[in-house]
Amino acid sequence: MTAVRDLVDSGVEWLGQLPSDWTVATLGRECWVRARLGWKGLKADEYVCDAGYPMLSTPDIKGPSIDFQSAARITKARFDESPEIMLQVGDVLLTKDGSTIGTANIVRDLPEPTTLNGSIALLTPSRLLDGRYLYYVVVSQYAQAVFDRLRGGAGVPHLFQRDINRVRIPLPPLDEQCAIAEYLDHETSHIDALIAKQEEFIGLLHERRTATIGTATGWERELPDSWRRLRLLHLFKSTGSGTTPANDEILDAASGDVAWVTTSELREERIATTQRAISYSTVQKYSALKVFPAGTLLIAMYGATIGRTGILGSPAATNQACCALVGPVGASAEFVEYSIIAAREWLLLEASGGGQPNVNQEKVRSFRIPVPPLDEQEEIVAGLEEVTRRIGNLIGKTREHIALAKERRSALITAAVTGQIDVRTARKVS
């Protein structure tokens, strides 16, 4: 049962009603807001390994707690250049640049002197503002909606410091701020633990799926005498790839004649729809563009997506990052796809290049996989489709549970920091 209290209109858009003994304040009056503008020519090659001081970036503050270990590190000289953004316990960190605007965390402990990069604003609360309460206000649905509205900048979304200062927040008496923070620490820790277990379960399901596919396709066991190791070029009539036309020739899916596939659409499943398409005239214009038939197996050849796969559900062209295996001969395209999924780490060993390792068509064509007789391939595919379907359903349901838990967490935080529930009574009731 949730405790309820008398509320009055706050006079603030989106904030709604507040308890009558609460006030409304601006962030700039109740905390010191600042951020680093640039890094005085700091370059990545100046980062140090074990020595120096952590410099947090947005990925380091995304989790339930701040990840000091993963942060880049800078020298003492660089650290000392910016004393105003050296962290202290109770500080709230708020991402102000890019797609992750609004990501926040609080410094609950400080294992060593630490600073921030330019993407994070630092909010140090006054003596009349509890840092934990401030953190929960910042991550509430109310504040996140305000930050979303304040995004500016011509290209990359940005929260300006002057706008952060003007954000109006609910301000209960200090003792109630502390009570709200303690209540939310207790309640959200239980929700976070549940989410962590669900995410761990998803990881185990993915491992089970990978292991099942690896065993079934012969990568994780001794091969029967009837199996052979064959190059992919011997299992398909032909291989090919594609290219990227000019920007104005790439159309949305509804406006084009021929579906156009990129590696972002290779998700280890049949490709039924694409985001982009091209016209017949564009296909005729570019000799590198081929329309591959339904049933073609696509394999990603570039960067982080190497080894990702998809089978065309209808005819389509591709960009140059996809290798197309066309017309299976004595092989099931579905079996080969499962085999490539299981063999991704081996395929990655074939990659070459510096910053973005790649494989080419020749390496894909030459790649060997274990191949059973065709009738056995079909039996394996049928079994794997059933197992992976069940695992996929479990993963989907678990993700739904996680989403619901996150929604509950967000709603609980918002209700507490806006006084919709009286946490001092709610703890006793619960």
The amino acid occupying position 406 is: K
Find where tokens 């032909």 sit.
238
Residue 355 has a pLDDT of 60
d(CA 296, CA 340) in angstroms, rounded, equals: 14
Assigned CATH for 228-371: 3.90.220.20
Q: For domain 25-171, give the CATH superfamily.
A: DNA methylase specificity domains (3.90.220.20)
Report d(CA 402, CA 399) in Å as an integer: 5
* Predicted local confidence at residue 1, as pLDDT: 42
Asked if 139 contacts 100 with a C-beta cutoff of 8 angstroms, the reply is no
Among residues 246, 244, 239, the alpha carbon closest in space to that of 320 is found at 244
3-state secondary structure 225-247: CCCEEEEHHHCEEEEECCCCCCH
Distance, CA of 6 to CA of 172 (rounded, Å): 14
Q: What is the pTM assigned to this prediction?
A: 0.83
The domain locations on the chain are 25-171, 228-371
Q: State the pLDDT at residue 137.
A: 97
CB of 261 within 8 A of CB of 271? yes
DSSP 138-170: HHSHHHHHHHHHH-B-SSS-B--HHHHHH-EEE
User: Would you call 213 helix, strand, or coil by DSSP?
Assistant: helix
Q: Residue 21 in 3-state DSSP?
A: coil
pLDDT on residue 353: 61
Instruction: Judge whether 25-171 and 228-371 match in fold.
Output: yes
Helices (H), 217-343: 280-285, 333-342
In this prediction, the residues of the chain whose per-residue pLDDT falls under 70 are 1-4, 37-41, 152-155, 353-356, 427-430
- Long-range contacts of 66-74, Cβ-Cβ distance < 8 Å, separation of 24 or more: 66/93, 66/105, 66/107, 66/108, 68/111, 68/112, 68/114, 71/114, 72/47, 72/117, 73/47, 73/48, 73/49, 74/42, 74/46, 74/47, 74/48, 74/115
Give the model's pLDDT for residue 88.
96
